[in-house]
Amino acid sequence: MAVMVINETLSKRNMPTIDLDHYQSIFGFPVIDYYRRLGFDFVDETFEKVGTEFIDGYEAHKYDVALHEGVETVLTSLKELGVSHSILSAYKQNTLDELVTHFGLTEVFLGIVGLDNHYAHSKVDNGIRWMNELQMDTQDVLFVGDTDHDHEVAEAIGVDCVLIPGGHQRRETLEATGAVILDSIRMVADYVKQENSE
């Protein structure tokens, strides 16, 4: 959906549109740099204006997407293992809450932590804050993500990280972080079991 919405934003400005492969090759954080790689110079209009336009388009389609296949099974399996889960997202908090409620998963998560704006600058500060609130040993936390920024956040927090291709970035980008790569979210529960048995 992100590709469809950004292409609407680009088309309105007669800028070249992109496909999924191009999107995954240039996406990254901070998001303003991704917009620059798309060709925005923010001379005639601000990042805030363009970013808000994208978010408005994204919001219009937010319920058109489904959960990744296997997500609910993984969450159930982890719960049976006594593993709690939280969401740390670069999505705006109120919209994040709405989506989690829409999928009927609010009660599944110990915490749902988003940003107070929709410009997706970084998740590091919120991640550190949430870890302090959890008061968990960092060795007992696994960060699961799909971007190199997720790996940066995990490192800043001081926790292990696994990354799953198929989201915002290419597999090669994720592999360059040195993080463990899992081919599917369905592998997370087995990974946790294996790590706990060692």
Give 66-116 pLDDT, tens digit per residue: 998 889 999 999 999 899 999 999 888 998 999 999 999 999 999 999 987
Q: What would the pLDDT profile of 5-49 be if each residue is shown by its tens digit?
A: 999 999 999 999 999 999 999 999 888 999 999 999 999 999 999
Percentages helix, strand, coil for the chain (3-state, rounded to 5) are 55, 10, 35
CA angle 174–35–66, rounded 5-degree value: 60
The domain spans of the chain are 2-64, 71-197
Q: What would the pLDDT profile of 116-142 be if each residue is shown by its tens digit?
A: 764 445 688 889 999 999 999 999 999
Give the N- to C-terminal CA distance of the chain in Å, as an integer: 39
The reported pLDDT for the residue numbered 120 is 47
Tokens of 41: 């110079």
Identity of the amino acid at 96: L
Which residue's entry shows tokens 């993080």? 179
Contact present, 162 and 180 (Cβ < 8 Å)? yes
What Rg do the C-alpha atoms of the chain give, in angstroms?
17
Contact present, 6 and 53 (Cβ < 8 Å)? no
- Whether the predicted pLDDT of 148 surpasses 80: yes
CA gap 123, 1 in Å, rounded: 22
Q: What would the pLDDT profile of 114-123 be if each residue is shown by its tens digit?
A: 987 644 456 8
- Whether the predicted pLDDT of 161 surpasses 50: yes
Architecture of domain 71-197: 3-Layer(aba) Sandwich (3.40)
Residue 43's contacts (CB-CB under 8 Å, 6 or more residues apart) are: none
